[in-house]
Amino acid sequence: MPDRRSSHEDLIDHLMRSTPLQRGEAARVVLDVLAYFDETTEEFIRRRHRELQSGGLVNADIFERIAAELPHRAVAPPDLSLRQLRRVVYG
């Protein structure tokens, strides 16, 4: 991942002016948001599956929920069937 700290100084400065965040905290928030938007569809599916599974949901409910969440991502991926979602998680 390229060093994004220097390329987003104006955003970090804005966060410091508009929130109580210190420079290091604001920089971390910027990097966290950028990492969130860099997440691929497959990474999102795997991450959400782990999160929902650790919350006690069963696969039938998990894959239904992931299918409902996918169209609302910042860059919506193509429609994936429940079978395709399972394949991403289990290969």
Long-range contacts of 46-54 (CB under 8 A, 24+ apart): 46/88, 46/89, 49/89
- Sequence letter at residue 1: M
CA distance readout (Å), 49 to 27, 58, 65: 28, 10, 9
What are the phi and psi torsion angles at 67 (to 5°)? -60, -35
Q: Percentage of residues in the chain with pLDDT exceeding 90?
A: 73
Q: CA-to-CA distance for 19 and 26, rounded, in angstroms?
A: 9
pLDDT band of 5, cuts 50, 70, 90: very low
Q: Where are the domains of the chain?
A: 6-38, 41-90
Confidence of residue 74 (pLDDT cuts 50, 70, 90): confident
pLDDT, one tens digit per residue, over 10-45 is: 999 999 999 999 999 999 999 999 888 888 999 999
pTM: 0.66
Q: Is the pLDDT of residue 76 over 80?
A: no
